[in-house]
Structure 1
Amino acid sequence: MSFSLFRELARGGGGAPAIRLLSSARRSRTLLMVSLLARQAPPEVLVAYDALKAVSAAAPKAADLVLAHPMTGVAVSRASRATHAASPGLFTGMALATALRAGVDLHVEAPCEELFLPTVGRVRGGAVFSVLNGQLFVDGVPHAPVSPVRLALGPREVELDTDVDVARWQEVMAAGWDELALNHPEVAEECALAVTVLSPIPTPPSGMASATLADAFGCVYLSLPPDPRTAALTLVHELQHAKLAVLIDLFPLTEAHPGELFYAPWRDDPRPLVGLLHGTYAHLGVAAFWRRYTDGRAQEEHTRWRTASRQAAATMLASGRLTRLGTAFVTEIAEVLDGWDGPVSPGARTAAETALARHRALWEDANRQRLP
């Protein structure tokens, strides 16, 4: 990665070149873990792995799509961390998905329970799996995979990987995508390349929740947004987490000591330095999002999260726990935040300052016994 692209990422962007590089890095990581799992695999798993190798050599583009699927990253990462060997189903599912996508014939004898075929769907278990002329056979019987639901977001589709009110999700997320494309085209371009799966989670009492797993690059976990603008904001927020998760894999940015905790103006609990960095980078995106609007709420939200992110950046820079690249990264964040200059109404500024002060006071009271 060039330092200029690193710098663009640090400033909250990076565009299509950054997403392509990060996606490639994540595929390489997954492929490396697959190779390491194979070295420790028993014979029944090696049968499936050999099938995956053969079909990947015959159809490298389809294999790349399967490797890049967020849930492939999750499954391979979990298997790598497990104390027991990977199951034959992991490699069998990847091999069958590749063969079906590419139209390549394949035969695998590997007893498996229900299989996940990344980008294709799920199939029931069996002992013998074949792909012939684009058709899947399980134990000699034709079998159609249960395909994931797909939502149309602007010019592309994403998977919706659970059973929900599809029509409602389609309505809200499509409108959110339109909001993103209209008012935040640079972020929309990044999302179009990065986000391939939406994974619904329960709606909390607060009304909205979202998350990103470091191993699931390209997947956004979220409850149903209440409106299109919140849907767009959620994609912005989680995209920042996803980008940083891969960047931290590539370059050490922190040298935090175990047990060190810091105040984060958006959390009720103390955070380790890497968690504070994640939150700061995400809220850089949040502040940039609200900056595009001029209504009173937008001014308040922009002012609050710009100030909060700047405070957190100052905390990190003063901590002495950032690497050289980490210092450069956070310095760029601070410069972006300092460079934003625009009119803010007195009411919005007062409301933002009051919210920040209230959060800090409540946090200090709640965590008085947890910090030195």
Structure 2
Amino acid sequence: MTHRISRSLFLELARGGGGPEAIRLLSSARRSRTLMMISLIARHAAPDVRAAYEAWKAVSATDAADLVLRHPMTGAAISGASRAPETASPSLFAGMAVATAMRAGADVQVDAPCTELFLPTVGRARGGTTYSVSGGLLQVDGRPHVPSPPIRLAMGQLEVELDSGVDVPRWQEVLAAGWDELSHHHPQVARECAAAITMLSAIPSPVHDMASATAADAFGCIYLSLPPDPRTAALALTHELQHGKLSVLIDLFPLTAADSGELYYAPWRPDPRPLAGLLHGIYAHMGVAAFWRRYRDDQAEQEHARWRTATRQAAATALASGKLTELGTTFVNEIVEVLDSWTETVSPAAQAVAEAALTHHRTQWEITNSR
């Protein structure tokens, strides 16, 4: 399937937005990528994997199949298997087949010896050998079985799976407050998050602050530790949304030349970064700077000043690299235009704190990376 994006929407994305329309396009593109990799795996897989693929294929024309295909962990699993299709497990397609059949009320039977079967959007089934579905009900080795469902959190327009065993009421409380913060102060970002994010995966909390991340192959999933407060939760969603959008956009359009191995300074990382990694940071930290721009307290002014300057410096590095494609140059120039349009002043004290943080980071980076 060919995917097209208008120049105006591409520029909207470059400027940090795009709205739900862009999210729908990116999600559709990622779905097509998943289907292409499924075909690749099926062509090279062992006979038992091929049989499981045929079971999924038999129910793949249903509307339920689309939900299963778009699940972040489907994308991640299929992408991983495509790198070595001859070693794929039949459970990969068996889980998709069973989940699709259960959601669609279709019939399917598939063999996949395993200790546990992951069913995208449905949950997890106990281990067995033969999985059969009839009328939406599952049997494992001939015995009725009800899969354990995923945890689901609902926060206004945002409804997500939470994949790990955590303190659910606490997560619900913090994330609901974070969603209120995002919806009130950043409504455009909230609309994009509601369209893009379908899953949260809990990770351990670091000693200080919190951690968050995205995986390029799991579009729609954000990995994060428990945020300490609502504003930090809203910031994490904002930051990781940008990474997710750019991961798909880079699949569609070459923004950088072939990786030459050259590394660059990024004002938010302790290590040198390849150009593609630097571009990811630029895009995400433009979102971070935009987030803090909406507030006027001391912390917000310091953070906005720091990340606006850091992102502008990194964008200049990318443009000077000579390794951006024509489209990549357009993309970064749009970012620069946005940053330069933010002419609001911050207090001298906030500016001084921001500049001190930038200087300290660069000094520590040079000490660490000159060894």
TM-score, length-normalised on structure 1? 0.96
Contact 1:89 1:113 survives alignment (8 Å): no
1:275 to 264, 274, 277: 277
What is the root-mean-square deviation of aligned Cα atoms in Å? 1.1
Secondary structure (helix, strand or coil) at the match of 1:287 reads: helix
Going from structure 1 to structure 2, the CA distance change for 1:131 and 1:19 (only over 3 Å counts) comes to same
Secondary structure (helix, strand or coil) at the match of 1:13 reads: coil
Contact 2:90 2:111 survives alignment (8 Å): no
| CA apart distance, 1:130 | 1.3
Query: Within the alignment, does 1:73 sit opposite 2:75 as a pair?
Result: yes
Query: Within the alignment, does 1:332 sit opposite 2:334 as a pair?
Result: yes
2:52 to 38, 48, 55: 48
* Alignment partners' CA distance in 1, 2:227 and 2:112: 42
The count of residues paired between Structure 1 and Structure 2 equals 367
Contact 1:256 1:274 survives alignment (8 Å): no
Alignment of 1:11-22 (within 5 A): 11-22=15-26
Structure 2 equivalent of residue 32 of structure 1: 36
| CA apart distance, 1:84 | 3.4
Contact 2:11 2:331 survives alignment (8 Å): yes
| CA apart distance, 1:83 | 6.2
| CA apart distance, 1:88 | 0.8
Alignment of 1:148-187 (within 5 A): 148-187=150-189
Structure 1 equivalent of residue 125 of structure 2: 123
* Alignment partners' CA distance in 1, 2:36 and 2:198: 22
| CA apart distance, 1:257 | 4.0
Residue identity opposite 2:11 in structure 1: R
Structure 2 equivalent of residue 259 of structure 1: 261
* Alignment partners' CA distance in 2, 1:79 and 1:153: 33
* Alignment partners' CA distance in 1, 2:258 and 2:353: 34
Q: Could you list the per-position Cα deviations for residues 29-51 of structure 1 after superposition, in whole angstroms to 9, with x for gaps in the alignment?
A: 01110111111122211221111
Alignment of 1:78-157 (within 5 A): 78-82=80-84, 84-157=86-159
* Alignment partners' CA distance in 2, 1:154 and 1:122: 26
Bigger shift: residues 310-319 or 148-157: 148-157
Q: Could you list the per-position Cα deviations for residues 306-357 of structure 1 after superposition, in whole angstroms to 9, with x for gaps in the alignment?
A: 0000000001101100000000000000000000111311111111111111
* Alignment partners' CA distance in 1, 2:354 and 2:254: 33
Secondary structure (helix, strand or coil) at the match of 1:114 reads: strand
Structure 1 equivalent of residue 353 of structure 2: 351
Q: Could you list the per-position Cα deviations for residues 162-206 of structure 1 after superposition, in whole angstroms to 9, with x for gaps in the alignment?
A: 101111111001110111111101000000011111001011112
Contact 1:130 1:137 survives alignment (8 Å): yes
Structure 1 equivalent of residue 13 of structure 2: 9
| CA apart distance, 1:266 | 0.6
- Which sections of structure 1, spanning at least 5 residues, go unmatched? none
* Alignment partners' CA distance in 2, 1:22 and 1:38: 25
Q: Could you list the per-position Cα deviations for residues 198-250 of structure 1 after superposition, in whole angstroms to 9, with x for gaps in the alignment?
A: 00101111221111100010000001000000000000000000000000001
Secondary structure (helix, strand or coil) at the match of 1:84 reads: helix
Residue identity opposite 2:320 in structure 1: A
Residue identity opposite 1:42 in structure 2: A
Contact 1:88 1:112 survives alignment (8 Å): no
1:23 to 27, 52, 75: 27
Secondary structure (helix, strand or coil) at the match of 1:163 reads: coil
Going from structure 1 to structure 2, the CA distance change for 1:277 and 1:138 (only over 3 Å counts) comes to same
Residue identity opposite 2:52 in structure 1: A
Q: Could you list the per-position Cα deviations for residues 137-177 of structure 1 after superposition, in whole angstroms to 9, with x for gaps in the alignment?
A: 11111100111111112134210001011111110011101
Contact 2:41 2:86 survives alignment (8 Å): no
Structure 2 equivalent of residue 320 of structure 1: 322
Contact 1:290 1:298 survives alignment (8 Å): yes
* Alignment partners' CA distance in 2, 1:261 and 1:311: 15
Residue identity opposite 1:330 in structure 2: V
2:235 to 233, 236, 240: 233
Secondary structure (helix, strand or coil) at the match of 2:200 reads: strand
| CA apart distance, 1:99 | 0.9
* Alignment partners' CA distance in 1, 2:159 and 2:249: 26
Secondary structure (helix, strand or coil) at the match of 1:124 reads: strand
Identity of aligned residues (%): 70
* Alignment partners' CA distance in 2, 1:316 and 1:120: 43
TM-score, length-normalised on structure 2? 0.97
